[in-house]
Amino acid sequence: MDSIIGQGIDRIDGRAKITGAAAYAADKRAPDMAHGAIVTATIARGRITSIESTTARNTLGVLMVMTHENAPRQAPFQARADDRHARPKPQLASDEVQHFGAPVALVVAETPEAARAAADSVTVVYEKSAGVFELGDASRDAYDPLKASEGESSDSHIGAVDAAFDAARTRIDAIYTTPYQCHAMMEPHASLASWQNGKLTVWSSLQLIESAHKSIADTLLLEPDHVEVISEYVGGGFGGKLPVHADAILAALAARELGRPVRIVLTRQQMFHVTTHRPASIQRVRLGADADGTLTSIAHQSLSQSARADEFSEPIVNATRSLYAAPNRLTSQRIATLDLPVPDSMRAPGEAIGLLALEQAMDELAVALDMDPIALRLRNEPEQDPEKRVPFSTRALVPCLTEGARRFGWDRRRKQPGTTRDGRWLVGMGMAAAIRGNFLRKASARVTLKSARRAVVEMDMTDIGTGSYTVLAQIAAEVLGLPVENIEVRLGHSGYPDTPGSGGSFGASSCGAALHDACTKLKARLAAGEGAQGLSAEGHVTPGEDYKKYSQFAYGAHFAEVGVDETTGEVRLRRMLGVFSAGRILNAKTARSQLIGGMIWGVGAALEEEAVVDPRFGAFITRDLASYHVPVHADVPDVDAILLDELDPHANVLGSKGVGELGICGAGAAIANAVYNACGARVRSYPITLDKVLPTLLDRME
C-alpha cells in the first residue's frame, strides 16, 4: 500500500469551512448570551483619574460597566515565567495605563450594538505621563535581555571579529531597519465565556490551549479542573493568538458577575493595540571576505522594541549563527523599552526580519566582489554548525540553491542593474537563502477505537488553518492501517491530552510524533489479543539527545523577478519561486500551500507592510486593513514552491520538520535584491516603497 503520509489529500475540515459549518469563536452562541465592548485608553502612558459612565449605564440594554474600580480580584501579572503565554493576564487591575489602546473599561449589554454605543459614551480622564516611542531615541538605554527565544543566549562571539573585518579584502558594513508589523489575520480575536455550577468554559480563538488554560485559570484564581478552554477552529493566528488577550479574561469576569454567558469580539482597530505585533528593529551587519569570496568575519547586531509593561526579545540574529561558515563571528541582540503595546512572536520570529538584513548584506557583498550571489553562498557552505560545533542532522541548502537556479532560469540574469527592460519597466532578479530552526516539544495524544475499523484521535492541538486535522488523520491512518476517512480527529479542547499547540513550526512534528507513539501502542495491545472496540492508548514525545548532538534546521532558496517603473519607482513582483527542504513532508498539498503563504508574507514585508507609530500619541495610526497594507491577488501573479525529498532521522520518529514559517524566511530579501538588480536602488529600510526608489531613478536620468 502506498504511504498515506505525504499524500496531498484535501483538508478534511475544508467542507465544514466553506459551507459555514465550522464555528469560530465569534460564531459561538449560548442561551441568554450578552455582549461586551471594550473601552480602550487614548493616552500611551499615565493614570486614570476618573471615569464617567453614567450615560453608558443608563443606555437601554446595558447590563454592566466594569472598570478598575469594580473589577473582581485577579492574580497579579508575572513579569518572569518559563512559559510567558501561561502567565496570569489580569485586566482592569489598576488605574495605570501602560500603552495606547489598553483596556480601561468594559460595557456589557443585551446586543453588540448597544454595548458599542454605550462604550463610546464612557468618558475617561487621565493624568498623562511622558512616553518614549522612537526606537532610535531609546537605543542608548538598550539592554541585554535575560534570554533570547528558544533558550539561546543573546550573544555569541568566536575569534577576533574586528581585526578580521579590518583586514578583509572586501567589506560590507550596513544598517538595515525593519518596521512594526501586525498579524492582520482575517478572523478577529473573540471569546465566549459561560459558567455552570462554578465551572468556567471559554470558547476562544487561541493557538496554545495548554498555556491558555493555565493562564485563564491562574488569572481568575481557579483550580485548573474548574476551567475548560475550547478552540476547535482558528481563522489565522500567525503568532497573534499565542497569548491570552483581554477578550477572554474580561468575558470570563463579566459572565461570572452577571450569571450569564458573555461574548466579546475585538474590533479590527482594537486588534492593533489590544493584541501583539512584531517589533521594529535596527540591525547592523558587517561582512568581511577574501578576494575569492571566502568569509573571514560575520557580525550581526540587532536592537528591537520591547514594551515597558512586559519584556520580549525578538531572536533576530539566531539564523546568522548557523547559515554560513566564517572563523570570526559575532552576534548580539539588545532590546529597548518603549511605551508601546507589547510585542510578541509573529510568523517566523527572528529569522523573518533577521534574514531581511543578512541576505541583503550577502547580496551587497556579492556585488562588491563582482561575484554571483549563489556562488558566494556555495563558497561559504559550512561542514558543521559553525558555532555549536556539532554536525547538522541534514543540510540541503546547496540542493535548494542549485535546483532553484535551474528552475528559475538564473543563468539569464544580467548582473549589471538597469540593463533588462520590458517597456517602461526595469526588470531584475534577486535571490536569498532560507533557514528556519527545527524544534520538537513535549506532546501527548490519545487514540481510541470506536470499532475494529474506526478510530478517534484526541489532543489539545489547534488547527490555525495549517491542516492539523488532516495531517494527524493521515498519521493515524497509516500507523493503524485504516482509511483516512475512518479517522475522526478531535482538537482544541483543554480536556484532551496536552500538546505545545500551534506555533513555532513545531506543532505537526511534535503532535504527530506523540500520535505515532499512541497508535503504535494501540497496535501492540491489539496484537496481544485485547478487544478492539473502546480500546485506547496514549502516546508521548519529549525532545531527546539528538537535539543536543545535532544542529537541526529546514532550508530553502528564494528567487524573485521584479519590475520597477522607471518613472514612478513603483515595484511589481513578476514571478517568484521557492525551493525547500524540510524533512519528510506530511501532506504535499498543505505543505506547499503553507510555503506559498509564507512567501507572500515575504512580499508584504519587502514592499508593503508597515505599522506606523504617531510619536505624538504613541499610537499605531495604520489600524485597519485599508491603511495597513498586505499583498492581494494583483500583487502576487506567479508564486510557486517546490519541495525536495528528504527525511531527517534525527528530527523525530516521522523524519519531518516544520514548514509553516520557513517560506517567509529570506523571501523579502530576495525581492530587495531583485529591486537592486532591476534599477540599482539599494534600499535598506523596509518596506521598499517608491519614495525610497525614486532618488536612484532620478540619478539615472541626470
To the query of whether residue 223 is one of the catalytic residues in this protein, the response is no
Kindly give, in sequence order, each residue whose CB lies less than 8 Å from that of residue 510, ignoring residues fewer than 6 positions away. 439, 440, 441, 442, 443, 499, 500, 541, 652
Going along 26-120, which residue ranges are E strands? 34-40, 46-52, 62-66, 96-97, 103-109
Only one residue has cell 520591547, namely: 306
Separation of alpha carbons 42 and 26, rounded Å: 26
Question: Are 133 and 339 contacting, i.e. CB atoms less than 8 angstroms apart?
Answer: yes
The three-state secondary structure class of 535 is coil
Environment class of residue 73 by beta-carbon count within 10 Å: exposed (0-12), middle (13-18) or buried (19+)? exposed
**Cβ atoms within 10 Å of 24's Cβ, excluding its own:** 18
Cis bond before residue 687 (omega within 30° of 0)? yes
d(CA 268, CA 287): 42
Cβ atoms of 322 and 636 within 8 Å: the answer is no
C-alpha cell of residue 154:
543573546
Select which of 134, 538, 661, 702 is catalytic.
Answer: 661
Residue 671 burial (CB count, 10 A): 29
Q: Which three cell numbers stand for residue 616?
A: 505624538
Question: By the 8 A CB rule, do 564 and 420 touch?
Answer: no
Strand partners, 445: 539
Q: Helix or strand or coil: residue 613?
A: strand
508 neighbors 499 (Cβ within 8 angstroms): no
Burial grade of 690 (CB within 10 A; 0-12, 13-18, 19 or more): middle
Q: From start to end of 113-248, where are the E strands?
A: 123-128, 155-158, 170-178, 190-196, 199-204, 227-230
156-172 b/e with 16+ CB inside 10 Å = b?
Answer: bebeebeebbeebebbb
Integer Rg of the chain from CA: 26
Active site residues per annotation: 661
